[in-house]
């Protein structure tokens, strides 16, 4: 009988993806730390406008100036979110990663999606930090491993490479 068996399970050819480490260069710990610090400072500036607006809203002498800080917070937050989302979608970069010439990709070198970077690298990581404060230290120290992957990189199956 040469006809295919209609009751046989489907057949698929499975091929392993071979990583070619020559395609990318892993970003160093120093440049990654620099990008983290720059992104943190940019976020802190925007949050400072929010806190200034809130505190000035309760101050009866300077309450009129609170509107300026509310405006600065709203504009700053929109600009920060816009550029970070734009750069992540385009090339897997935050503002600081773009400035420093590094980017986030999947561990096989393929582009990392906005959802993977936002949810797995950021939201899940921050939730774990919120529950286990020592996790931040462990996560940060793994940058010195051979793979240069922090825990949040392993969770998201990403690496940070030179752009």
Q: Is residue 14 part of a domain?
A: no
The dihedral over CA atoms of 45, 49, 51, 57, expressed in degrees to the nearest 10, equals 170
Note whether residue 21 is domain-resident. Answer: no
Give the model confidence (pLDDT) of 94-118 as tens digits: 999 999 999 999 999 999 999 999 9
Q: Indicate whether 10 belongs to any domain.
A: no
Contact 127, 119 (CB under 8 A): no
Provide the residue range defining the domain that includes 148.
Answer: 26-162
In the predicted model, what is the mean pLDDT of residues 40-67? 87
- Is 4 part of any domain? no
What Cα–Cα distance (Å) separates residue 157 from each residue in 44, 112, 141, 152? 28, 9, 18, 8
Answer yes or no: is pLDDT of 19 > 70.
Answer: no
b vs e for 24-39, b when ≥16 Cβ sit within 10 Å of the residue's Cβ? bebbeeebbebbeebb
Model confidence, pTM: 0.80
Rounded to an integer, what distance in angstroms lies between the CA atom of residue 74 and that of residue 37?
A: 22
Answer whether residue 100 is part of any domain: yes
Q: What's the total number of domains in the chain?
A: 1
| Structural domain contains residue 18 | no
In a domain, 8, yes or no: no
Q: Is 1 inside any structural domain?
A: no
pLDDT tens digits, one per residue of 38-52 = 999 999 999 999 999
């Amino acid at each position: 009988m040469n006809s295919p068996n209609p009751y046989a399970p489907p057949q698929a050819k499975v091929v392993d993806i071979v990583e070619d480490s020559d395609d990318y260069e892993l970003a160093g710990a120093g440049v990654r730390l620099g990008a983290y610090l720059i992104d943190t400072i940019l976020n802190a500036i925007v949050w400072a406008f929010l806190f200034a607006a809130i505190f000035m809203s309760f101050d009866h002498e300077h309450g009129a100036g609170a509107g300026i800080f509310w405006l600065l917070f709203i504009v700053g937050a929109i600009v920060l979110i816009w550029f970070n989302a734009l750069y992540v979608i385009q090339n897997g970069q935050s503002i600081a990663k773009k400035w420093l010439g590094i980017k986030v990709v999947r561990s096989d070198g393929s582009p990392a999606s906005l959802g993977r970077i936002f949810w797995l690298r950021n939201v899940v990581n921050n939730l774990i930090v919120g529950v286990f404060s020592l996790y931040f230290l462990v996560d940060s120290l793994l940058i010195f491993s051979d793979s240069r992957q922090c825990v949040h990189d392993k969770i998201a199956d990403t690496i940070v490479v030179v752009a």
